[in-house]
Structure formats: C-alpha cells, structure tokens
Chain A
Amino acid sequence: MTSDVMGASIKRVEDPRFITGKGRYLDDIKLAGMTYMSILRSPYAHANIRSIDTSKAGAMPGVVLVLTGADIPYNPLPMAWPAGGSSGVVNNINMPRVLATEGVKWTGEGVAAVIAETAAQAVDALDAIVVDWEPLPVVVDAEKATQAGAPQLHENAPNNVVFNWTVGDKAGTDAAVDAAEVVVRQRVVNQRLIPNPMEVRGDIGVFNPGTDEYTIWMSSQTPHIQRLLLAAFVMGIPETKIRCISPDVGGAFGSKIFCYADMALCLFASKALNGRPVKWVETRRENYQSTIHGRDHITYLEIAGTRQGEITGLRVKTFANLGGRLSTIGPGIPTTLYGRVLSGCYKIPNVYCEVTGVYTNTTFVDAYRGAGRPEAAYVIERAMDLFADEIGLDPAEIRRRNFIAPDAFPYDNPSGLGTAVNGEKIYIDSGNYEPAMDLALKTVGYASLDKAKTDARARGKYLGLGLSTYIEVCGVAPSKWIGAVGEGWGAAMWESANLKVHLTGKVVLTMGTQPQGQGHETTYSQIIASELGLPMEDVIVQHSDTQGTPFGYGSYGSRTSSVGGTAAVKAAGKVREKARQYAAHMLEASVDDIEVVGAEYRVKGSPEKKKTLQEIAFALDLGFSLPAGMEPYLDETAYYDTPNCTWPFGTHIAIVEIDEETGKVDLVRYVAVDDVGKKINPMIVDGQLHGGIAQGVGQALWEGAVYSDEGQLLSGSMLDYALPRASWFPNFELGETVTPSPVNPLGVKGVGEAGAIASTAAVANAVMDALSPFGIRHLDMPYTAPKVWRAMHDKEARS
C-alpha cells in the first residue's frame, strides 16, 4: 500500500511518556487496600528444611498473613518444555516450587512469604521467621555435578542428569572426524549471565470474592501464556477465571517469559485475604538470585576438515547447567534452540551434538536474549577460528570456503531442523552470506589489519580483529515445529491481531504480543497506517491485557514483527476487503470495480466516485443501510501461524586493543553488517542492534555470574556483576544487506536478538587474535583485565 511510513525512521510514539517519567510500570500501580509481600529466601544453596516457625512473624506489626509451602494447595510450578519431549528422551523433571517445603536447591529459593500493610513491615517480619536448616553438600558446576561422588540434588535424577539429548548423525560424524586430515578440539565455557532488565519483576494479585475471578498485574512478556499456565497448572481453575495484565514493561531479555512462584503467591495470598490486593516487587538482589539466569554451558567441541579448509565434521558435547529445578522452558533452550543450529551458516556435512542437561545448586537457567543461539554461534564461530589457526588459513577465507552457497537454499541443515510434526521441512529458506562478509571486511579495512597491529604495538597495545558470521533462527515460529511435543514446548506459536475502525475513522489495533521496550506501538502503527493509507496518528495500538486482546503467545525469540506483524497485515487486509465491498454498496458499483488507493475506495475509471475509509466506517458503524448478509462495523480479527522461521544473518567484526601492561581489553571498533530482511523502522532496527551488540560484548568482556563452591552468588549485585556502560563502547558502524524473508508478506525477519547472537563470538575471536603472539589459543570469557594479564604472563594458564 502506501510506503511513506513503511521503512521510515519515525520517532517512537511511546517515547514521550517513557522519557518524561510517565510510563506506567507495575510498581506505579497502587490499588485501594493493597498489601505488600516479601519472600524469605534460602541462605543455603542446598539444605533440608527441618521446620519453619512463623509464629513470631505472624504477630509482627502490620502482618496480615504468613505463608509457607504447606499453605500452598498445589506447589509445583509448570515446566512446559521437556527436552525432546515424547520422542524417547527421558527427562528427570523437578519443577520449581511456589514455596519450598522439604528442601532448597539454590541460594535464594523462596521458603516463606509475609504479607503486611506496608512493604517495610513485610521485610521486617522476615527476620522473625525461624527456619531449622540442615545444610547439605553443594555442587555448582554442571560437569562436576555429573561425576561420581557429586552431591545429589534430586532422587529421580541420578548423577544430577536432567536429560541426555542428541541430534545429528553420530556414526557419520564419528567417521568424518576419524578420517579427517585435521581435527581441532577445545573445551569452551559459555559462562552464566544475569539478564538485568532496567525494571525488575513484580506482580499484583487480586481475587474477586464476588465472582471467584482473579486479576494479576505482572511485569511479563507473556500475559496470555501466564493466564494459561496459572489457570491450568497452578490454580486449577478455568482460564476464564484469570485476567493477566502486563502494563508498561521496562526490559526483559527473556527473563519475563516465565511462570514464577511470586505470581502464584500473590494470587493465593489475595484469596486468603478475601480479595485484598497483594503486591510484590523484587529487589535487585532477589532479581539476581531468583529470576532466571542465562547460558552456562561447558562444551567440548571437535571440528574436523581438510588442510585446504573444507570443514567435514562437527562433534559437540555440551553440559548445560539448568539450575536447581527446571524453569518454564529451561530444557528447550540448550537442545532445540542450540543443537539444531550449531552448524550456523556453514555447509558442514556431518554434525553431531550431545547435550546433557544438569541440575546444580544454582538459580534456574532459561531463555536469555538469543536463548541457545548465542551459545551455538559462540561454539561454531570459535571453532572456525580455531580450525583456521590450526591450518594457517585466514579466518575470513575459511568462512568463505564453507558458507552455504546462495543457490543451495532452501537448505536442509544436517543438525536436523527438518522435523516438523507432519513431516514438513523446517529449513533455512534464504541467505547470501558472502556479500555481507565482504561488505563488513571492506568497511573495516581488512587489508590493512597487519599495519594496524604494528601501529598498536608501538603504543603498547596488542590489536586483534574477530569475525562472527552468524545465522539466526528467528520469528519463532511454526506451531508444528517449535510448538510440537517432542521438539518444542507443547503448545502453539501463532499470533493474532484485531483491527477496529471506529465510527470516527480512528483505528485501534489490538495485539496478543507484548512489548518490553521494543517500540511495538510505533512499528505496528506504521504497518497499519501503510496498509490502510491512514496517518499514523489515526492508529492506536493496544496490548497487555488478556481481557480485551486476542490470544497471543507473547514477545520473545525475535518473533513479533514476523508473526505478529503478519497477523496485523492480515487483519488490515480483511478490513480493506470489507470496506471495498461496502464501498461498492455505497457507490452502487460492482465490487470488482472498486479500487483502493490509500484510504480511498474508488470506482475504476471514475475517480470522482469514491468513499474514504472514514466514510465507509461511519456508515458501516451506523448500519442503517447494509447489503444482504453483511454485518455492521469494521472489526476484523486475523490469526497467523508462519510456515517457517526466519533466518537473519550477517557478519560482525570487532577490533580490540589489549594493554600489554594491564591486560585491559578495549573494544575500539565494531562493524556490523546485518541482513534482517525488510525494515519497518530502520531507527528501531539500529537501536535493537546497538543494544544487542552491547549485551553480547558484555558477555565477552565483563559479565559473569560467579558462585562460590558453597553456592553463594558472589556476583550478587551490580557492585560485582559488571554490566556494560555506554562509555565503554565505540560508535557502532552498521551496514546492511537486504534479502527479504520469503515466508511473510512484510519480508521481515526480526532483529531483537541478532546483535547479542553475533557480537560475543566476534569479540572473543578478536581477543584471541590479539593474544596470538603469546601462543594463546583459547581463553574462556569474560576477558577481564586480570584474566588476560595472567594469560599473558603465565604460559600454564594457556590452553
């Protein structure tokens, strides 16, 4: 339709309220009679609970209710995604508890809750709860947890194994590795990360004793999914009895996808209090201990090939630390979303991956920006560099020699994407990797790299350049694949959109997706304004409330533009078609003679005979004159389940300099060429890339969740967990290639995760390149100054 708004860098319509402090976040909401909850959390990483005495706490000033696990009617929280599901993989499942009863499995697990008239009274009363603990031996490392003699967390999980999941052709890969001219092996650790949204999580639960209905406000990416999970798996009531509302959400990065104990507690507590609202907002310290963590893989990789640089096999064994119990979709992340995309953008004929999911005495691990795909990109991109180094080939050249060729699409990936329920293939549908890499190399001045290194040495610096030619599976996605039991999380993955043209001609788009800062109100408005030929300000976008929005699976996995956006396009198409039919009625013309030009519906050949969408909406709303069989009102709902995922790709290049005396690593340049398909709003795309790149660089250089051997989270606050700061980054040099996605009419692919997937490996490869004069082949992240300095000074610290 009209193109003046599509593809334009329009300023975000939600930003005036956000940047002037007028956003309405969970903690801004205050309800009459509201009470406040605080949760007592385990100081031990592994302990039995002999007894809990809450009598003193119950008598503290202002306390209206104290809950322990014994008060919870149904204590386990749902875990929706067993690895491999019903496809023969055994999952030794231990679900999280609303409040732990017999024992705790990590420091910070909730054991009791106090509800009081004020937040301060609730916190004060926690100190009066007496728990008789029996501390138990602790294990925090996933590989050690599987070894003989390790402390055992759960009776049903011998050696703390959750599952052993495999993908690919074992015999073929073993043969390829055995026969290869060159095999490079490396143990790599993808360290645990803490998501850190600006707004921490929180809930307000309200029970209505008149209707037996619950309402819960939550800082969540997935209000509809939470309604389903809370109703069916926690409260044991129909979905119709729960309403979930996510107000403005201040960041999430995956950590707000899941069903958490506090949600259930607020609902149970409000019911026990006969409907008084119960608010809980976590502290940053609780966020660090009790909201999910990400990553935490220990991987043994083997990459095999010829001396000329043709990769013939990739064999990977990964220990995935899933924490003390399983978060909502924890097992799915290091399996389906990791193992199945390990070979990246390379045509590797033999791939085999084995993943062991492991329980440890740590916070549960689930999806964090990129979710499995950054871990996969890190493994393959490090492997490519290690192999190139081994055979003395340029890192760009080895990539060039192994890229999936542009004429090889659709490409059926050997690590087994093609296993949808009904036999339909999930395949990599498009890509053209070499032009993106060439553009990035040209931008960065790859030919003069050696001179740059020499110049840096004169300044006491070691300069290094790192490539990451990533591929991403986005727009998750087809229900038949990611939703399927045995592969996905056992539900669906479509999206919905409702579009109403009100009597005044103003348009309301209501979505089942849920923004967390991405600018959905802007991009959806652009889509609808374009589709209907209206000014953007005539389009209002609503979301966030299960009462009033059509069902949706929420926003994560870079899926909103490709799946939700397509649902919006379809709804607009339905509106346009009905408007066209009604225009024919109004203009006394044949429907086939009505052409749509922007918001005008004209009789072909007689452009003066026309009706605007507003005129049509007005008349249709009044409904005084309707053709036979036509219903009044312009109100259409569309659902969309994409036939395939989308496949963004690109090349990121990082240049770092390492101070020879201190080991401090500075990121001095960053070039990113991304192909995310068509862009609805290039400014928002750039913003997503900037944030994603920074987040991924954060993992490479600074971030890391560190547990002591006793299971205490040493990096338990921002004083010890190093979040990136804007001043630590150079300006990002962004470029693009545009290969529209063939699977959706917008041609979009999604960009929420691309930066984070690509940048970690790019920086890691740059640091290793800079350290190559020291004979250092690999170091595990984060590359802090002390760690790099030690490696430079101590040959034994090198692998």
Chain B
Amino acid sequence: MIPAAFDYARPADLDEALKLLAGSAGEAKLLAGGQSLLPLMRLRLASPGKLIDIGRIAELRAIRDLGGGATAIGALATYRDVLDSALAIGNHPILALAIPGIGDVQVRNRGTLGGAVAHADPASDMPAILLALDASLAIRSGSGERVVPAEAFFIGAFSTDLAEDEILTEIRIPATPAGAGMAYQAIEQPASGYSMVGVAAVVGRSGGSIDHARIAVSGVGEIAYRATAVEGALLGSDGGPAAVAAAAEHASDGQTVAADFNASAEYRAAMAVVHTRRAIEAAFAAIR
C-alpha cells in the first residue's frame, strides 16, 4: 500500500496551479481532498508522475450566494463545508439529504465536491445530484474561464470535459423553481458504501399538473444521466401515484445498465425504477 514515487508541488494560488499544470503536459494529476486518488495510488492502480496539490487554495473553497436562490460552491469545498453551509443547504436541500450518505466522517471532512465531480466515478452520488439541480461547472485555464452545463461535462466513466490544462473551480447551482421539491434515494453496495443505484429528483407542480421535473440517476449507466423519458412522462401528468409509477418505469431507458458481481444489470434496472419512484414521491412530499 505504498504509492510509486511521484513529484509533488503545492501551488499557493490558482494562477500558480494553472501554470504548473500547463507546464507538466499530461503527467500531472491534481490533488484536492485525495479521497479517491490516494487510494488508487496506494494500490498502484494510478501512478501519476506528479501531483499538484491544490487542496489549500482558499479561493477555491468558498461558497458564494449568487442571489435569488442560486449558489456557487467552490470546487475545494468539502462535503462537510457544504453540510455546514446554511446557504447551500437552504437553497438546495437535496444536498443535506444525499451528502450524509457519502463515505464516512473522515471522507466527508476531506473529500471535496469538485474532486468527486472531476473524478466522475459512475457510482458517485454527486453527478446525479448536479444533473438534477441543472448545475453548471466553471472551468479555468491559462486562456480564461468557461462554463459547462453538468450534462455536457460528464462524458463517460471517469471521463469528463476537463482538458489537461484546466482546473474545475466552481459548481454553480441555479435557483430551483418556486414550489419545487427535491429528494435523493439510493441503495448502497454494502462493502464500498457506493450507490448501486442513486436517484435525484427535483419536481414542481402547478395547478393540477407537473410543470418541472429533473430526474437523474447514478450507478446504473456508464455515467450519471438524466432520465429524460421519466421527466417527459411526468411533465403534464397529475403526479399521482399511478403517473409517478408509470413514469418511473422508464428509469433506465436507453442505458446500457452496469453489472458486476455485487449486482446484476437486471437488479440495477429494477432498482432504478423503484428508487426513481421513491425519489419522485419523496420530492413531492418535500414541496412546502
């Protein structure tokens, strides 16, 4: 459990980090909270030649009020920081529902939202939550900042839109439509604690029908995805139990469902349906 030798740099600020990254042409990995990367290195499943430790860059850890119910969460904010942020939790209560189920106390104290998002583990909870919240990701490089919607950011398992010279700086979550409720439902693989299936739902009702539905699923496909067929079936429906159950049946439509020795594709697909229904029902129940 000893990593292979690597070079190590700890830039003082974002600009220095970007310069170091640009100068190390693909051999460097960014180290944030280290809760995913370091175990991989200890098992020598990852052996980066250089680590650029951005973990102490304070400017990337802030949680900012964007006004009107929108929030910007610095990429280096830890899970604990987010749970402790009345602003983030008040604007996006799903974070308080999902984050306590991520890792353990130590992981939540060290692990960062940005790190989890950039790592893009298909079983990670955060990507589905950000998809359901319609979040965008702010990305910096030497040539400036660009902002990418979460849907365009996740490309595949452990693969994102981040280029080798770019750093994820901020997660920007827009205001949820007034009157919407949100919920997260997951079933964990008991050994790792990762979700075999996790479903984030943000739903809103106006008059007698559903006018907002963003449903995202992690653990099931190659990467977290928006269950657009579920959303489509929900929108305009009465949101009653029958409509929700019928919509949830589409939870893994179009996906190649993952399988491993812990859970078959059949089981994951079935659990996607169950947890999609439960998440939607819980999200309705959360509408104030």
Contact = CB atoms under 8 A, between A and B. Distances in A.
Interface of A: 119-120, 123-124, 283-285, 661-662, 664, 702, 706, 714-715, 717-723, 728, 784-786, 789-790, 793
A721 B262 CA distance: 10
B43 A285 contact: yes
Contacts of B43: 285, 717
Given A706-B261, A786-B264, A789-B270, A722 B1 contact: no
B1 A719 contact: no
B2 interface: yes
Nearest to A284: B1
Given A785-B187, A786-B262, 10 more contacts: A119-B2, A284-B1, A285-B43, A661-B274, A714-B261, A719-B192, A722-B191, A786-B196, A786-B267, A790-B267
A661 B271 CA distance: 8
Given A720-B192, A786-B267, A662 B2 contact: no
- The dominant DSSP class at the B interface is loop
Contacts of B274: 661-662
A123 B189 CA distance: 31
B217 to A, nearest CB: 15
A400 to B, nearest CB: 36
B9 interface: no
B5 interface: yes
B263 interface: yes
B4 interface: yes
A284 B1 CA distance: 8
B187 A664 contact: yes
15 contacts: A119-B2, A120-B2, A123-B2, A124-B5, A661-B274, A662-B271, A719-B192, A722-B190, A728-B190, A785-B187, A785-B263, A786-B263, A786-B264, A789-B267, A790-B267
Given A285-B43, A714-B261, A720-B262, A784 B5 contact: no
Rank and list the top 9 A-B pairs by shortest CB-CB distance, nearest first: A722-B191, A722-B190, A786-B267, A719-B192, A283-B1, A786-B263, A661-B274, A123-B2, A120-B2
Task: Report the interface size class on chain B.
Answer: 20 to 34
A702 B4 CA distance: 33
A702 B190 contact: yes
A661 B187 CA distance: 11
Q: Of residues B43, B189, B190, which shows the largest number of chain A Cβ atoms within 10 Å of its Cβ?
A: B190
Nearest to B191: A722
A714 B2 CA distance: 21
Contacts, number: 52
Contacts of A722: 189-191
Contacts of A784: 190, 262
A689 B264 CA distance: 35
A522 B88 CA distance: 50
Contacts of A664: 187
Interface string B242-282: 00000000000000000001111011001100100000000
A283 B262 CA distance: 24
Contacts of B187: 662, 664, 785
A717 B40 CA distance: 12
A120 B5 CA distance: 9
Given A124-B5, A786-B263, A718 B271 contact: no
A301 B263 CA distance: 29
A113 to B, nearest CB: 16
Contact of B191 (A661, A721, A786, A790): A721
A785 B4 CA distance: 38
Nearest to B264: A786
Contacts of A123: 2
Nearest to A282: B1
A556 B5 CA distance: 41
Contacts of B190: 702, 722, 728, 784
A191 to B, nearest CB: 13
A715 B189 CA distance: 13
B191 A723 contact: yes
A715 B191 CA distance: 9
A554 B263 CA distance: 42
A286 to B, nearest CB: 9
Contacts of B4: 124
A789 B2 CA distance: 40
A719 B40 CA distance: 12
A577 to B, nearest CB: 54
Contacts of B264: 786, 790
A522 to B, nearest CB: 30
B267 A718 contact: no
Contacts of A715: 191, 261
Nearest to B274: A661
Nearest to B275: A662
